[in-house]
Amino acid sequence: MDLVLLCVFLPLVTVAWGQYGDYYYGPYNYGDNDEWVNVYRQGFNFQCPHGQVIVAVRSVFNKKEGSDRLWNYACMPAAQSLGEPTECWWEEINRAGTEWYQTCSNNGLVAGFQSQYFPSVLDREWQFYCCRYSRRCPYSCWLTTEYPGHYGEDMDMMMYTYDHYIRGATTTFSAVDR
């Protein structure tokens, strides 16, 4: 009986071990610490290369610069288990000066961002660049609440394993805090 169980489980362990390499990648390269995708109070457009998704987000806040943030992103190839990207698109715009919550439609993963700053409301509007892959992403989604905990905090969020993906974001907006 023990030999039968070994014969059944050994191939499963071998397959699982072979797939382990698809899931962990080392530290993310944001480039030079002074390299940001934007300057304060300016718009930007950032897209990962084809077949890659956003895996890290870094941001610093500056109240003196219009309560704006500098942004930087890191991309990595999507896990091989997802297959190839079948389509990519820009989602609807999330308007400045409002609270919003958005995830990529059609089982998409975030592969880029576009943003424009509006000095009249001291806020940004956002648009996500999403890509859908040939195999459905096996996940259950949840919203992280730890990055950043307060509007003025800096953030450095990284996906350490490829069983986590960025599917969307949410924001709060306060007319008092801006």
Contact (CB, 8 A) for 90 and 110: no
Beta bridge partners of 171: 100
Residues 119 and 54: their CA atoms lie apart, in Å, by: 27
Q: Does residue 15 belong to any structural domain of this protein? A: no
Domain that holds residue 92: 29-171
Q: Does residue 177 belong to any structural domain of this protein? A: no
Q: Does residue 40 belong to any structural domain of this protein? A: yes
Q: Which tokens in the block code for residue 178? A: 């801006």
Model confidence over 133-174: pLDDT tens digits? 998 765 666 666 666 767 788 888 887 666 678 888 888 766
Beta bridge partners of 116: 125
Q: Does residue 78 belong to any structural domain of this protein? A: yes
Q: Does residue 72 belong to any structural domain of this protein? A: yes
Q: How far is CA 145 from the centre of its chain?
A: 14
Please check the confidence at residue 33 and state whether its pLDDT lies above 60. Answer: no
Whole-structure pTM value: 0.77
Element (H, E) at 14: helix 2-19
Q: Does residue 5 belong to any structural domain of this protein? A: no
Please check the confidence at residue 51 and state whether its pLDDT lies above 50. Answer: yes
Residues 129 and 115: their CA atoms lie apart, in Å, by: 11
Q: Does residue 8 belong to any structural domain of this protein? A: no
Model confidence over 95-116: pLDDT tens digits? 998 888 899 999 899 999 999 9
How many independent structural domains does the chain possess?
1
Q: Does residue 51 belong to any structural domain of this protein? A: yes
